[in-house]
Structure 1
């Protein structure tokens, strides 16, 4: 392993700050282009929020942060890296998703559209056919939609493809759907309670409420991907995604240095020329610096306000984080004893509220309060991938949203874990008696293990429309470029935001390559610099 700064400044074509999945994607794409790439990771391990470990009991594997990856499985970015060659394989639970109502009814999504339709039909006659119709609409736009959300803004090719398929009228109707609140979307698509609840629970994977503009598009995307491809998990845990990315990078000569916390981006004549790590070691970048860190950390901590346009610094005061997160993992001696046995074969379960309850839950969070009856997202990892625990047992996790705070009292976290377990015990009497081990990761724990999860926020910033597209992370280009030449934002704070799909890292790598091209680099830089001057002057 190389020692930082042992013979003066180490050099590479590109220095990537952070070995989260976006940083590793960016590093891989640059290595594919023949660049010498060095990744500097502050912690002792790679992966960021894509990691696994035994933290509850021996033999029980837990995905420590993210889990279930419809976007990762469908992502053109990750698919293009051919990670199967490096050991990544996927597993599916028999049923994809269920929303459990307080009265113990469940709406169940299965990869067979007819099975999903039959479940929704039990809530209202005709809702099964309405689901099938909505799914056919999705199939018509799925490929250009995925391209649209995983390429730099403006997404010209994806937009043109959508226009060609839908014509003007259909494109306008799609645009309307993309800004609908999920409650309104559910009301327009279904007459019963099952379909709207499935959608609303998906929307609450973000920090948006059921009434927020734009919440419908997240719900529609996740639900329809679940119908089309499922919500798969890597066989052997989330760590397998990271392991494949690392193996692919090192196979191409890329280097990763751990325990190397960057504290400054080095700038000369308006251009990023390298970084400095704690202790004063210097790392020179001949072509680019890419940062897989949150936008406020890059701009305010690593670059510094003095090197930035005052307007950009002022805009960062309005940057909004997504909510804090509390995640708990359990080792269970037997499968979950659900009262509704339909849930025994489901990978991901939403429970704790109907649609009205979800609205109230989100309103409580918006007021900065802790819900007394939290809405839970639950994962049955052994149902999806039996290798997560011994036969006849279950590796279970649940997370719930909290109001965003960077400091939490331990007693508040402990009390909320008790509320979470009460919700689980109500839906699965006897749950508590099966617990062999438990691991609690509150907001402070999440941030300590992964500094990019500021205050336990897992999305790199809010999913609200006012911080998306060309407004992410602040009003600007919606691209990876920054006002500092050859410095690129490669984290989920950049378009298209959170989720394990690799798009921010890929977009940053593409931008770095475009800037560096001998024939077009100068024109590219002048165009970006002109745009930034117009925005931030």
Structure 2
């Protein structure tokens, strides 16, 4: 006979979103158990020594401007649980093939001076763009990160701006990165910095809606920087774990969930691979990709037919190959100004970004990859021995089921050639190397399907109320008391905790007396309209 353990809420997955949801439910007095497939927490927010002894690498994500600015994480008070942040001397340098660099610094005057070297007046234009952002940033982050639709924050933002400026902001949010950059700036420095930041997603400089990501990341860089946790990305996870345990929450490792238990349309708990049933009386919160939750853990029986059809059109973001290096000294950049940047973009100018994105869109491997590179010891001196550097770079590839080892090896060669071109002698400083091919990323973290980092494309057709499929844009699912808390849910990828917080709030709203019936009734009526 199977043993049944009962708690108020089961959280599937100890990624940062699952841990955020667990913390918020524990704050409400619920008993919470997190079931994690692997032997450690964190999902894509983890660190480890994978290159050489004494060199600490962030295995997946590294810099967290959204996490630092997120009202969700700020309200958790993780500094009281050991989390500390650190900054590189400069935020970002976009290094052009001709050797010039556009640099964003937390010092506004320094950023302005860098952008001014590309076009007279772009320093002042940058200041104006930043003033526009700073005026709305608090409400914008609330609009972006709170449950959809963001009625209160949205109305507050609209009142602040007035009808005309609200419409202008709305127009800005749907521009491509190229169009937005050309409207805001005259020179290539500021334009390519914005477009390069947009490519942290899977959107090309030409795609509608891509500009908002570039605007968000560049302006956050100016406002708060792109900080990293002292001691590695895993310290953010460790703080979430410590906070959860201080509130009585439990994490069970090596407990892969194979089925969400459903009875009469309601989630009752989960079953793990060992056949054990774990009961949840109030909620099951799933920090797993949407297709895995609905098609594998729940099953088509409990889903509306139209939703199953919609899931067939779910689109992943691009694959990723990531290389970590242990270096016996700093990267020997030809342009010394780049040495102080925590993040470096290199390998393409603006037109090169478009060509690179076009290759990926047509399923080809870019011969000249655009790189996002992190200088981690420059940012946090604890990451490697004195006088050395822990660094990484990643680039995107088309999303494929498999990548042969020789193709990945050839692409790693291209990656290092791009760096060597701008930093002669780079290869001679490598004392350790570790490569994550797309399949390796998925094996380390099953949520990174095919090496996709964002939980699904950031394209407009899969955002807001289209995420993960056309619906409410909320954490609620067609199964009562089952909630989606991964980056497949609104507002999507990034380490900010919003999908986890939104799922926890939905579960709490469902559980409350008045909204328990009324809220669920509204959700069910809306779903009948969508999926009939």
Cα distance in 1, alignment partners of residues 244 and 171 from structure 2: 41
Matching of residue 106 in structure 1 with residue 101 in structure 2 = yes
Question: Match for residue 43 of structure 2?
Answer: 48
What is the CA deviation profile of residues 281-318 of structure 1, one whole-angstrom value per residue up to 9, with x for unaligned ones?
00000000000000000000000012110000000011
Any unmatched runs of 5+ in structure 1? none
SS at match of 2:514: coil
Q: Is the 8 A contact 1:406 1:443 kept in 2?
A: no
Question: Match for residue 72 of structure 1?
Answer: 67
TM-align CA RMSD: 0.7
Corresponding residue to 1:353 among 338, 348, 352: 348
Shift of the alpha carbon at 1:518?
1.8
Matching of residue 125 in structure 1 with residue 124 in structure 2 = no
Runs of 4+ aligned structure 1 residues displaced above 6 Å come to none
Corresponding residue to 2:406 among 411, 419, 430: 411
Corresponding residue to 1:502 among 497, 500, 507: 497
> TM-score, with normalisation over the residues of structure 2?
0.99
Cα distance in 2, alignment partners of residues 35 and 29 from structure 1: 9
Corresponding residue to 2:92 among 91, 97, 109: 97
Matching of residue 475 in structure 1 with residue 462 in structure 2 = no
Cα distance in 2, alignment partners of residues 89 and 204 from structure 1: 28
Question: Match for residue 334 of structure 1?
Answer: 329
Shift of the alpha carbon at 1:527?
0.7
SS at match of 2:363: coil
Question: Match for residue 184 of structure 2?
Answer: 189
Question: Match for residue 82 of structure 1?
Answer: 77
Cα distance in 1, alignment partners of residues 105 and 264 from structure 2: 56
Shift of the alpha carbon at 1:158?
1.4
Matching of residue 258 in structure 1 with residue 258 in structure 2 = no
Corresponding residue to 1:269 among 264, 269, 282: 264
Cα distance in 1, alignment partners of residues 226 and 359 from structure 2: 29
Question: Match for residue 508 of structure 2?
Answer: 513
Cα distance in 2, alignment partners of residues 176 and 386 from structure 1: 42
Matching of residue 301 in structure 1 with residue 258 in structure 2 = no
Aligned ranges for residues 376-455 of structure 1 at < 5 Å?
376-455=371-450
Shift of the alpha carbon at 1:408?
1.0
Cα distance in 1, alignment partners of residues 519 and 195 from structure 2: 42
Question: Match for residue 278 of structure 1?
Answer: 273
Corresponding residue to 2:208 among 213, 218, 225: 213
Shift of the alpha carbon at 1:519?
2.5
Question: Match for residue 111 of structure 2?
Answer: 116
Q: Is the 8 A contact 1:140 1:165 kept in 2?
A: no
Question: Match for residue 283 of structure 2?
Answer: 288
Cα distance in 2, alignment partners of residues 515 and 245 from structure 1: 24
Cα distance in 2, alignment partners of residues 298 and 79 from structure 1: 29
Cα distance in 1, alignment partners of residues 212 and 401 from structure 2: 29
Q: Is the 8 A contact 1:406 1:454 kept in 2?
A: no
Cα distance in 2, alignment partners of residues 440 and 93 from structure 1: 24
Matching of residue 464 in structure 1 with residue 459 in structure 2 = yes
Q: Is the 8 A contact 1:378 1:398 kept in 2?
A: yes
Any unmatched runs of 5+ in structure 2? none
Matching of residue 525 in structure 1 with residue 495 in structure 2 = no
SS at match of 2:374: strand
Shift of the alpha carbon at 1:36?
0.2
Q: Is the 8 A contact 1:38 1:256 kept in 2?
A: yes
SS at match of 1:519: helix
Cα distance in 2, alignment partners of residues 333 and 49 from structure 1: 27
> TM-score, with normalisation over the residues of structure 1?
0.99
Which deviates more, 513-522 or 465-474? 513-522
Corresponding residue to 1:180 among 156, 160, 175: 175
Cα distance in 2, alignment partners of residues 207 and 519 from structure 1: 41
SS at match of 2:396: strand
Question: Match for residue 489 of structure 1?
Answer: 484
Shift of the alpha carbon at 1:150?
0.9
SS at match of 2:168: helix
What is the CA deviation profile of residues 124-156 of structure 1, one whole-angstrom value per residue up to 9, with x for unaligned ones?
100000000000000111000000111110001
What is the CA deviation profile of residues 461-495 of structure 1, one whole-angstrom value per residue up to 9, with x for unaligned ones?
00000000000000000000000000000000000
Matching of residue 152 in structure 1 with residue 158 in structure 2 = no
Shift of the alpha carbon at 1:407?
1.1
Cα distance in 2, alignment partners of residues 412 and 158 from structure 1: 47
Shift of the alpha carbon at 1:162?
1.0
Shift of the alpha carbon at 1:406?
2.3
Aligned residue-pair number = 532
Shift of the alpha carbon at 1:279?
2.0
